[in-house]
Amino acid sequence: MTYTQTQDSLTGGVPDQGEVLRLLEPDGSRVADATLDPWVSDLSPHELRALHRDMVLTRRLDAEGVALQRQGQLALWAPCRGQEAVQVGTALALAPGDFVFPSYREHGVLLGRGAQPADYVLAWRGEEHSAYDHTTINAAPPQIIIGAQSLHATGWAMGAQRDGSTDVAVAYYGDGATSQGDVNEAMVFASSFRAPVVFVCSNNQWAISEPVTVQAKYPIAGRAPGFGIPSLRIDGNDALACVAAMRWALDRARLGEGPSFIEAVTYRMGPHTTSDDPTRYREPGEVEAWAQRDPIERLEAYLRAEGILDDSGLDEVARAADALAAEVRAACIGATTRAPETMFDHVYAEPHAGLDRQKAEYVDYLAGFEK
């Protein structure tokens, strides 16, 4: 579905919730789409293999994150299984100078930005406020406050605009986040100032235990034109569609045409986080139906049919994925745990009397255990 005019959201009733733009059917067959096709016509076999490889790597490292949490090595993990196409596909379209503002679930986006093994896990282990240097991989720390990153991205974009740069900010958030004031405020600002920002909404059908149908009586992508922001509603399990839509949005931003909105319709195959039990609120049949639309199997089927990927290529990718998972595990288990009171460090750049007092109280509290 394309929402290019404000009018689209005001007329014509509620479009079918299933109506999305796509280039790959669930069985991997290639279909034409006049809006998306021009943006992926130049993808080389090498780039297509990289797209597939990063998706497999993301799935493998995500499984390792879950395992590490189950083994007591991480406090929490937010699984992204099922959402690899939107994360990896949109990240692949970025330029090095672009800056992403991810949520807690965007492991595939971080991979695309060049994150190192420790970067995925140290914050979830409680070792660091932010595991990576955000200026190295041009990614803000994973945001836990739902939707807050949309404002940060818009502010960054307005800064880039004033610097006269062509760099673009990207805010990644979920379907539930679109009910937050922050997201709506960000869209007003982005539209008013024609900020070079892309809003990527991964509609994974659930906001913890709340189904998207409760808070979206109209396709989420259909809201954006009301803010003056063109949008696309794409199949978020189709990696080619994700690359194409992101290139469309980035191009608009770089040409000074302002913000764009992408609703990627996908599915969260796992629990909300490792603290959640989704069997309490969703039917197994729903999960099974979405398993038939798996993003990795879909791209694999297409690449095999095109002669771009074969058994030996798949073996090589599986080995690389296991190697990455082993590195992530080693970085996690081998991390040096610092003194607990260091969590007060680096909160402010300048000395802060209130924080110093809290730190002193906490040191006293810890000393109580030694008596």
Ligand X SMILES: Cc1ncc(C[n+]2csc(CCOP(=O)(O)OP(=O)(O)O)c2C)c(N)n1
Q: How many residues bind ligand X (CB under 6 A)?
A: 16
Q: Judged by CB under 6 A, does residue 206 bind ligand X?
A: yes
**Residues 180-209: x where in contact with Mg ion by CB under 5 A, - otherwise, as a string:** ------------------------x--x--
DSSP string covering 56-94, please?
A: HHHHHHHHHHHHHHHTTS-S-----TT-HHHHHHHHHT-
Q: Tell me the C-alpha distance between 171 and 139, whole Å.
A: 10
Q: Judged by CB under 5 A, does residue 178 bind Mg ion?
A: no
Q: One of 125, 268, 293, 298 is an active-site residue; which one?
A: 268
Q: How many residues bind Mg ion (CB under 5 A)?
A: 5
Pairing of strands 231-235, 2-3: antiparallel
Asked if 42 and 242 touch (Cβ cutoff 8 Å), the reply is no
| Nearest residue to ligand X, by Cβ distance, number only | 174
| Nearest distance from C-beta of residue 180 to ligand X, angstroms | 6
Closest CA to 253 of 88, 20, 90, 83: 90
Q: For ligand X, which residue of 105, 125, 252, 298 counts as binding (CB under 6 A)? A: 105
| Nearest distance from C-beta of residue 151 to ligand X, angstroms | 12
Q: For ligand X, which residue of 10, 75, 95, 144 counts as binding (CB under 6 A)? A: 144
Segment lying near Mg ion (by CB under 5 A), choices 66-74, 167-175, 309-317, 320-328: 167-175
Q: Judged by CB under 6 A, does residue 108 bind ligand X?
A: no
Active site residue 352: no
Q: Judged by CB under 6 A, does residue 207 bind ligand X?
A: yes
Q: Tell me the C-alpha distance between 69 and 77, whole Å.
A: 7
| Nearest distance from C-beta of residue 336 to Mg ion, angstroms | 35
Segment lying near ligand X (by CB under 6 A), choices 143-151, 282-290, 306-314, 318-326: 143-151
Say which residues have a Cβ less than 8 Å from residue 210's Cβ, sequence separation at least 6.
176
Q: For ligand X, which residue of 107, 247, 252, 272 counts as binding (CB under 6 A)? A: 272
Q: For Mg ion, which residue of 175, 182, 235, 294 counts as binding (CB under 5 A)? A: 175
Active site residue 268: yes
**Residues 166-195: x where in contact with ligand X by CB under 6 A, - otherwise, as a string:** -------xxxxx------------------
Q: One of 22, 60, 81, 272 is an active-site residue; which one?
A: 272
Pairing of strands 2-3, 197-203: unpaired
Q: Please, which residue, 33 or 235, has the CB nearer to ligand X?
A: 235
Q: One of 281, 319, 346, 365 is an active-site residue; which one?
A: 281
Tell me the residue ranges of DSSP E strands in the chain: 2-3, 99-101, 169-174, 197-203, 206-207, 210-211, 231-235, 260-265
Q: Judged by CB under 6 A, does residue 124 bind ligand X?
A: no
Tell me the residue ranges of DSSP E strands in 64-196: 99-101, 169-174
SS3 202: strand
Closest CA to 300 of 9, 2, 24, 23: 24
Say which residues have a Cβ less than 8 Å from residue 243's Cβ, sequence separation at least 6.
39, 40, 43, 51, 89, 90, 92, 93
> What is the binding site for ligand X (CB under 6 A)?
103, 105, 144-146, 173-177, 204, 206-208, 268, 272
Residues of the shown chain interacting with Mg ion in the complex, contacts defined by CB under 5 A: 174-176, 204, 207
Catalytic annotation, residues: 268, 272, 281
